[in-house]
Each structure stands twice: as structure tokens, then as C-alpha cells.
Amino acid sequence: MADSKNLTGVRVMVIDDSNTIRRSAEIFLMQAGCQVILAENGFDALAKIADHQPDLIFVDIMMPRLDGYQTCALIKKSGKHGSTPVIMLSSKDSLFDRARGRMVGSDEYLTKPFTKESLLKAVEAHLAHRNAA
């Protein structure tokens, strides 16, 4: 099972237009010791990223105005946050969706509904990868 000690103090941003998804992710991540920054859309997230400097970002694909692909592309193109891992969240799980996520620079693709274990495993995997780099 996930060892939550190594997640204490990790700043994770969750971008999703669903309050239920945001709250679920926030609860799972906070139980593991993470600091959680919530954003309900891409514009909200882009404004908060500079202030909060997240270590990892989860972004929903299907959002109004600025979708997850556009949001991910903007994050990855910004010089300061381009190396921040971005994990796409989606209820769509086709090869096309995954490929499109990779094309805009996402680091992983997590299917909703996610479990606490899958969410924490994704955080741990990307932090371990970053710490090894």
C-alpha cells in the first residue's frame, strides 16, 4: 500500500469543473499529507499556478472554455512550469484521447472515477521520477 510519509508537504493542484471530483481528490491527497490547490477551470488554474508553484498537476480533459488539453499545453509551454508533471483526468479512455494527451505534453493519463490508491500511486511515481532526475 502507498506510504504516505513521502507525500507530506507535496503541493498538488487539481483542476476539474466537477466539485465532486475536486473534493474527492482533495480528501485523498490531504489524507496522504499533500497540500492541495483546487481550480475549477483552466483559467482559474493558470492564475493560481504562479502563486502556488504546484509540484504536480491533475487536469480534467472535459471542461468549458479552456479544456484540459489546452490547459496542459499552456502549462508545458510556460518556461517556469514546463517541467511540472501534468496528469490528465478523464472518463474517456480511448487510445486517441491518450495520444492527444501525450501530444500536449501530459505525463500520465488517469481514468475517472479514480481510486485513492491510483491517485496516490500517480503522485508517488512522478515525484520519484523527478527526484531521480
> Pairing relation of β-strands 108-111 and 11-15?
unpaired
* Percentage of the residues of the chain whose pLDDT score is greater than 90: 82
pTM for the full model? 0.92
Element holding 9 (H helix, E strand): none
pLDDT band at 94 (very low <50, low <70, confident <90, very high): confident
Report the alpha-carbon distance of residue 16 to residue 24 in Å, rounded: 11
Sheet holding 11-15, edge to edge: 35-39, 11-15, 56-60, 86-90, 108-111
* pLDDT average, residue stretch 69-76: 97
pLDDT single digits (tens) 39-67: 999 999 999 999 999 999 999 999 998 99
**What residue spans define the domains of the chain?**
11-122
pLDDT at 51: 94
Domain 11-122 part of CATH 3.40.50.2300: yes
pLDDT value of position 45: 96
